[in-house]
Amino acid sequence: MLKLITDRYPALTFSLYRRYWLASLGSVGGWQIAAVAMGWLVFDLSGSVLDLGILGAAMALPAIVMTMVGGVIADRFEKRSVLLMTTWLQILVLVLLACLDAFGLISVVQIWLLAAVISTVTGIDGPTRQAFFPHLINRDALLSAVALNSVLWQLTRMVVPAVAGLVIAAFNTALVFSLAALGYLVMLIVLLRISLRLPGIQGSSPLSQIMEGLRFIVINPLFRNLILLCYASMFFLSAYQQLMPAFADLLGAGPKGFGLLMSASGVGSIVGTVISGAINPGPRYGRTMLAAAAFSTVMLSAFAVSTMLPSYSLALLFVLFSAAGLSVFLILSATALQFEVPDQLRGRVLGIHTITYSLMPLGALLIGALAEAYGTPLAMLIGLVGYTFIWIGLGASAAIRQLEQPHGGSDS
């Protein structure tokens, strides 16, 4: 069984990457369980979908702003030291959240502010991780490492929300924040035991380095169009996750039902990850990506309709299918970018791509605002119509449609 796994994912044969990946289960799981608890706590305190959207903005905007700087930091400074700093800061904020909640001192505004602090740190942490992990493996294992990183996020999305729902129902959100801090502590311990040092490249000024990364993306049609499509996909196709407390309320589900809805999304993403590893699109690589995004859009539209009926079982099914399609698109697109990016620009360019994962809560801000006027399901459908036009426009690009299976990358 072990040989079957390592044959499928050769990155796990590298001890440094294996330890790093296992520890990332703690930190990624910690972030996700904290995000679930913050969303539930905000909705419990205010009952406002708009407040959930504002929480989404607090979790997204600082990371987006800081990612440009974070990419430069990842390329200029010793990467392990940067990760140690960001992990320490995230632990401290989560402990503060747990204490405020436990003593009944928490407010919606405080949750927004602390979420913004975590988001700011994430803007540095994300690009640094993207620049760090490829050095833990050989290049021919890169594809499996990208898939494993996706498995990491999707596995925790499958398990963590259900755990969070059960813990909230049985205990309280303060315990959830404490468990999140513990997850980051695991990552901190492992980072301290990794002796690898990756000195940064000083070179030109930070502003010049930012502009160099942006210039590469703008003049390269594949990077420009694919990154924009990734942004739009996360903004519109994942916003429902941030608004799931409101959808759960429409379906008459409590904390456990809410957790299961979130877990269904995780299960779907795992299914998508398995599909991504099993298929071999070859010359139809780009078209396969586009088809996966289209499938996710159709299934998410069906989910929105199912919450109007309401039908909890159909909602679970459509969430699973939508997440599977989006997972296939995101894995294939991330793999293509990882193979093609020059090593000396990796932190900056992939840092800009990392903004993708900060746009889910920001999309929830738009959908949440629309929901105040039209209701949450109809607001979601309006957003999906907008995404369809973007998909058509960017999908028409030959750089994406004619993209073939990547087999190597550039080092210059």
Q: What is the CATH number of the domain that holds 164?
A: 1.20.1250.20
Using the structure block, give the residue that is written with the tokens 């305190």.
45
Per the model's pLDDT, the better-predicted residue between 203 and 271 turns out to be 271
* Structural domains of the chain, count: 1
Rounded CA separation 12/222 (Å): 29
Distance of CA 147 to the CA centre of its chain: 13
Mean pLDDT of 277-304: 88
Each residue's pLDDT tens digit, 220-270: 888 999 999 999 999 999 888 878 888 888 998 877 788 788 778 878 887
pLDDT in tens, 20-55: 888 988 888 888 889 888 988 998 888 887 888 788
CA 343 to chain centre: 23
Task: Measure Cα distances from 87 to 26, 45, 76, 266 in Å.
Answer: 11, 29, 19, 24
Residue 364 contacts residue 115 (beta carbons within 8 Å): no
In a domain, 341, yes or no: yes
**Domain presence at residue 412:** no
pLDDT band at 398 (very low <50, low <70, confident <90, very high): confident
CA–CA distance, 351 with 255 (Å, rounded to integer): 35
Rounded to the nearest 10 degrees, the angle between the axes of helix 142-170 and helix 173-193 is 150
The boundaries of the domain holding residue 33 are: 10-401
User: Distance between CA 266 and CA 279 in Å, rounded?
Assistant: 20
Contact between 28 and 86 (Cβ < 8 Å): no
Tell me the one-letter amino acid at 334.
Answer: A
226 is a domain residue = yes
- Polymer length of the chain: 412
411, with CB counted inside 10 A (0-12, 13-18, 19+), is exposed
Please report whether residue 4 resides in a domain.
no
Average pLDDT of the segment spanning 294-322: 94
Confidence of residue 412 (pLDDT cuts 50, 70, 90): very low
User: Does the residue 279 lie in any domain?
Assistant: yes
For residue 334, CA distances in Å to 28, 195, 337, 351 come to 18, 28, 5, 12
Report the alpha-carbon distance of residue 41 to residue 47 in Å, rounded: 9
122 within a domain of the structure (yes/no): yes
Residue at 2 is within a domain:
no
Q: For 278-392, where are the E strands, in sequence order?
A: none
Q: Which tokens sit at 30?
A: 């910690």
* 61: pLDDT strictly greater than 80: yes
* φ, ψ (nearest 5 deg) of residue 104: 70, 25
User: Can you give the C-alpha Rg of the chain in angstroms?
Assistant: 20
* Residue linked to tokens 């999305």: 157
Q: Give per-residue pLDDT as tens, 193-211.
A: 887 776 656 666 667 777 8
Q: What is the pLDDT of residues 330-383, one digit of tens each?
A: 888 888 887 777 777 777 787 788 788 777 777 887 888 888 888 899 999 999
Place of tokens 């996020």: 153
Determine, yes or no, domain membership for 407: no
